[in-house]
Amino acid sequence: MQNQTNLEKLNQKVTDILQNYNSLKEENKSIRMELLTLKAESEIKDTEIEKLRDETVMKDLEIEEIVEKIESMLG
């Protein structure tokens, strides 16, 4: 009878471990998917930031050209 009780306890522990393992496996899968999504969003934002930096450089050049034209007209 004691052996059966120990066997039942062991069986329950194994069942608990498997449930925990499967739960963690699903959580890991979910986190990996979230990570991939965040990486993709980050790449999109990095691309947009680079585009805005390029536009800023071009606008700065335009401003410099306008200032040069004004200075040449005045002086």
Q: How confident is the model at residue 3 (pLDDT cuts 50, 70, 90)?
A: confident
| Whole-number average pLDDT of the chain | 95
pTM, whole model, 2 decimals?
A: 0.66
Strand ranges, E, within the chain = none
- Would you say residue 1 has pLDDT above 70? no
Mean pLDDT of 12-39: 98
CA distance 1 to 5: 6
CA distance 54 to 64: 15
Mean pLDDT of 24-46: 98
For residues 42-66, b (16+ Cβ closer than 10 Å) or e, as one string?
Answer: eeeeeeeeeeeeeeeeeeeeeeeee
% of the chain surpassing 70 pLDDT: 97
